[in-house]
């Protein structure tokens, strides 16, 4: 990632978070009968929306609203598509986990990039929450209800 401007990294993270928030919004409804899982997914949706808003604040403070090229958007949308194609437990939880693992990798790589302190803080916050999302989804996807299929 040498030579990339930090703004490109944040724009990608912002887009990932916006798409993840939308995917979680849809997933919450699929788990309406499981209050605990639904609550967790709603919390994850809120975290992703918060990350995107924080990145917006960094951009507006430094360079204006971020934009992504169409090729990057298409690549990032593939993750969301996989989630929407996996209906029901445990398939949907595994798809969400896979997407969160990719988000974790991207946030981890971004945490090594040079950027203004405010941007680095936003990335570190997102990275910490991505780690927590991955661990929670691993537990949910391997729990007794998931193994039983409901």
pLDDT in tens, 46-100: 999 999 999 888 876 666 655 666 766 666 566 555 555 544 455 778 888 888 9
pLDDT classification of 114: cutoffs 50, 70, 90? very high
Q: Are 103 and 14 in contact (CB under 8 A)?
A: no
List pLDDT tens digits, range 3-51. 567 888 888 898 889 888 888 888 888 888 888 988 999 999 999 999 9
Identify the domain containing residue 67 by its residue range. Answer: 6-148
Query: For the chain, how many structural domains are there in total?
Result: 1
Residue 113 lies in a domain: yes
Residue 14 lies in a domain: yes
The whole-model pTM stands at: 0.77
Residue 1 lies in a domain: no
Q: Give the CATH number, domain containing residue 19.
A: 1.20.1260.10
């Amino acid at each position: 990632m040498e030579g990339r401007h930090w703004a490109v990294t944040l724009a990608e993270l912002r887009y990932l978070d916006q798409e993840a928030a939308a995917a979680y919004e849809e997933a919450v409804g699929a788990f309406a009968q499981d209050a605990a899982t639904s609550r967790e997914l709603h919390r994850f949706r809120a975290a992703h929306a918060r990350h995107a808003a924080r990145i917006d604040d960094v951009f507006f403070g430094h360079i204006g609203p971020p934009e992504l090229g169409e090729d990057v958007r298409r690549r990032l949308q593939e993750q969301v598509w996989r989630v929407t194609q996996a209906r029901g437990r445990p398939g949907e939880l595994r798809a969400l986990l896979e997407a969160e693992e990719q988000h974790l990798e991207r946030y981890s790589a971004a945490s090594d990039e040079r950027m203004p302190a405010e941007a680095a803080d936003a990335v570190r916050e997102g990275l910490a929450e991505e780690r927590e999302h991955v661990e929670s989804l691993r537990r949910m996807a391997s729990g007794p209800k998931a193994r039983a299929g409901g």
